């Protein structure tokens, strides 16, 4: 399979680290010019250097902006008015007792995890549709289907993101633009390491803490380990490529078998 995105521009939100950075690197490896966006200029510059080090000749642009706000979105759109591939990866998560989550926290999760994607789809989809080609991808989570009791605000926001993808796929019907979600399972990132250590008691070494976390908090996983960001990126690059032209409106799983379902 040749995943060729030469001549395409791909924007990945929340791409200064973790899954977003792995996705940007994968897209660059397939020949896309990539746009990294996050809030911190310093972290973005370091991330861009990582992509260039990993992919010889990579074309990388960075835009420092908080795209969870109207102002930050306007900054991004002024710098990058058009893209061929949009990957809505930005998201927040954290553990909190269900009955103690205040309204403001619910609003924050919907603003960052849902409305950010809606704003950017609304901005970029029309030109994709006019050209007759485009890819829109949302990075969702197994928590969209298996709502975790320790962070239901996160799970509910990711459930909404699946509906966002399905709805906009209908809006793009027949245009050559595909819109999909990628359901990522428990993935090894810096933020998840902190999350694991917050739930696993004691000062265990990382390998032991990870195994204990999966055993106690994610026993449904058939992989029985955390997924590496590059494994999520591989699916995203495929769905962004011309080879995935018949996949749209879907929620495609890279969850290590965590979701107990025979459907994707």
Q: Is 54 helix (H, G, I), strand (E, B) or coil?
A: helix
Strand partners, 186: none
Annotated catalytic, 109? no
Other Cβ atoms closer than 10 A to 47: 24
- Burial class of residue 149, CB neighbours in 10 A (0-12, 13-18, 19+): exposed
Q: Is 161 helix (H, G, I), strand (E, B) or coil?
A: helix
Q: What are phi and psi of 2, to 5 degrees?
A: -110, 110
Q: Is 38 helix (H, G, I), strand (E, B) or coil?
A: strand
Find tokens 């949302």 and name the residue.
138
Active-site hit among 109, 124, 154, 258: 154
The C-alpha atoms of residue 231 and residue 27 are separated, in whole angstroms, by 13
| Separation in Å, CA 156 to CA 149, 159, 161 | 11, 5, 9
Supply the residues annotated as catalytic. Answer: 154
């Amino acid at each position: 399979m040749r995943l060729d995105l030469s001549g395409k521009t791909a924007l990945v939100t929340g791409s200064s680290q973790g899954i977003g950075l792995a996705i940007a690197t994968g897209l660059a490896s397939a020949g896309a010019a990539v746009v990294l966006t996050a809030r911190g200029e310093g972290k973005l510059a370091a991330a861009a250097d990582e992509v260039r080090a990993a992919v010889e000749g990579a074309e990388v642009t960075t835009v420092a902006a908080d795209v969870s706000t109207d102002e930050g979105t306007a900054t991004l759109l002024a710098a990058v008015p058009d893209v061929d591939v949009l990957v809505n990866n930005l998201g927040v998560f954290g553990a909190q007792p269900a009955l103690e989550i205040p309204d403001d926290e619910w609003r924050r999760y919907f603003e960052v995890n849902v409305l950010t994607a809606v704003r950017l789809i609304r901005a970029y989809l029309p030109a994709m549709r006019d050209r007759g080609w485009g890819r829109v991808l949302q990075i969702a989570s197994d928590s969209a289907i298996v709502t975790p009791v320790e962070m239901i605000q996160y799970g509910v926001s990711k459930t909404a993101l699946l509906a966002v993808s399905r709805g906009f796929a209908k809006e793009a019907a027949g245009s050559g633009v595909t819109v999909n979600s990628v359901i990522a399972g428990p993935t090894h990132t810096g933020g998840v390491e902190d999350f694991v250590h917050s739930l696993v008691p004691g000062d265990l070494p990382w390998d032991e803490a990870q195994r204990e976390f999966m055993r106690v908090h994610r026993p449904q996983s058939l992989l029985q380990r955390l997924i590496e960001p590059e494994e999520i990126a591989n699916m995203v690059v495929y769905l962004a490529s011309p080879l995935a032209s018949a996949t749209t409106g879907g929620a495609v799983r890279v969850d290590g078998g965590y979701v107990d379902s025979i459907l994707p």
